[in-house]
Structure 1
């Protein structure tokens, strides 16, 4: 499992209905993408849920590197680059994934928490704690799913969760889910990834 996200930060006075309309127009394009666990089309609006920015920031969980590479190099990503410029694409190696008690409900909100693995920390212990945190998030009321991943170039953990309601029980940056493409979500491996 691989996690991926890019952020397109937009001007403070940007009409975010443009992003909503874009997702309504093209969001279905990945609904059957081979190798994709899910893509959450995410948006933050300045002043909503404490966001300091307007931002379009899709988050992906990939079952296969082939699927991810097909998206990045085979044309899927080019449309975004044509519309907004080519953003930095962050990638993390999957540590854990769990379905939540609200797994069958539509995801309305997402929460992403990025945290460093401190210098001197035992990396394996930090990874095990992220696995436990994923399981704790998944059993909270309203959780659709939860995942943890790590970027070993930056020694950064990311905890990501989808929620059925507007009041997620998680800490981090809160995003509105505009669409969820989940062609292979059922195939995402559960629990610890090693």
Structure 2
């Protein structure tokens, strides 16, 4: 029989109130509190916190606190990635961010979702879909990346966009819902 964590990571309905998952979220929340309370000149302290919170990130990651996530362990980050102020990553399933990608302030990345059927939703079970963001992507401030989305390499997402569907490589896309505006040269 699968654990709730195994169900969560395989995209099945799972119980988020499971003790193992609650303990992992608590661990992440305590680290996030330390990170967000740290001072700008406490570079080594921040590095140590990020090493623990985001074990699957390259060491040259730059996060400008405050930062928020569910688990941290489901976030995979390439080299030279930048998260500006107040980014949120609901990493119930894997979130992959390619090298040299830049996220503006208040970018929100949501893998977590809930059943559309109200009876199923009322059961308290939820599920998630992974998100993949390519290399050399720029995501403008306050953009929202919805569950299951892939954003191709070198694309730009306009500020305030709500990305509900995959975006190909080498395009500028914007809007709510986000759509391709033009190809990039």
TM-score normalised by the chain length of structure 2:
0.30
Which structure's CA Rg is the greater one? Answer: 2
Flag the structure with higher strand content: 1
The higher relative CO (CA closer than 8 Å, separation ≥ 6) is in 1
TM-score normalised by the chain length of structure 1:
0.29
